[in-house]
Structure formats: structure tokens, C-alpha cells
Homo-oligomer: A and B are copies of this chain.
Amino acid sequence: MKIGQLAKRSGFSAHTIRYYERIGLLPRAHRDQSGQRDYDASILVWVEFLSRLKTIGMPIRDMQRYAKLRESGPSTETERRELLERHRQRVQAHVAELQDCLLVLDTKIAGYARLEQRVKKHVTQTTRKRKSTGARYARPV
């Protein structure tokens, strides 16, 4: 598999794949007789794992550390687990924070929606005497 193929299958651009190789996230790929990278399908497992680490926002430094440990063989497995666990903690905290903010956001969105309802109502009732339009809902920030 050449780099273009890997790019399509992995979602990373060829540029990014070369960059990842340069910085040690990907092992130096085997080259064919004309010097082009030639990947074994087995690289996909690692690339997809990297993709997940990226999704959960692991800094490249940590990925580099992980990649290095991985290349050092099974004796580094405890350290790898610890690295992943530390990041999992961070991500879980972040998700909790996001959900917290989402609640606040929903409240604000609902506030705007209510304002819009009031405006609509006002327009349709504009010829009648309205009973109560007091500030039942605070105007959002």
C-alpha cells in the first residue's frame, strides 16, 4: 500500500503521514525499489489508534512517548497503560465540563427561543389588549 492509499483509508493526508513519520509517531516505512513508502496493511491498526488518540485530544508529545514505548517492546506495557489512564482521566473530566457547559447553553438557547415566542405572540395579538407581558423571562446575555 502506498502513501496515497493509506491516506484515503486513514483519513490523514499524505502530508500528515510523512510528518508523523518524521516526528516518530509512525515507524519509518519500508521503501520500494524506487524509494516510495510501501505500507503493510497492519499499519492501519496503529494509524487508527493514533487517530483515536488525536480525537480525544492527546498532545503529540504524549503520542510520541507512547509510540516510543510501543517500539521498546512488551516491558513498557505498564507505563503505556499508565499513560493512557492519565489521559483518560483528563478526557473524562473534560467531557463532564463540556456537558456542564452544554446545560447552560441549552438554558440560554431556550431563553432566546422563549423571547422569539413572545415576539410572535405580540405580533399576532397586536390589535387586542394584551394581559401580561411582564418580564417573566430574563433577557439572555
Knowing that A49-B108, A56-B102 touch, tell me 19 more A-B residue pairs with CB under 8 angstroms. A52-B104, A55-B98, A56-B101, A70-B141, A74-B115, A74-B139, A78-B112, A80-B140, A81-B112, A81-B116, A84-B105, A84-B109, A84-B112, A87-B105, A88-B105, A88-B109, A94-B98, A95-B95, A95-B102
Is A135 interfacial (CB-CB < 8 Å)?
Answer: no
B45 touches A101 (CB 8 A): no
Tell me if A92 counts as interface (CB < 8 A to partner B): yes
List residues of A whose CB falls within 8 A of some B CB: 45-46, 49, 52, 55-56, 70, 74, 77-78, 80-81, 84-85, 87-88, 91-92, 94-95, 97-99, 101-102, 104-106, 108-109, 112-113, 115-116, 139-141
> How far in angstroms is the closest Cβ of chain B from A114?
10
Taking the nearest CB of chain B, how far is it from the CB of A48, in angstroms? 9
Say how many copies of this protein the assembly contains. 2
Q: Which residues of B contact A87 (CB under 8 A)?
A: 105
Query: Is the pair B77, A115 in contact by a Cβ cutoff of 8 Å?
Result: yes
Contacting residues, chain B, for A94 (C-beta < 8 A): 98
Q: Which residues of B contact A70 (CB under 8 A)?
A: 141
Q: Which residues of B contact A115 (CB under 8 A)?
A: 74, 77
Chain B residues with CB below 8 A from A106, complex form: 88
**Contact of A109 with B95 in the complex, beta carbons under 8 Å:** no
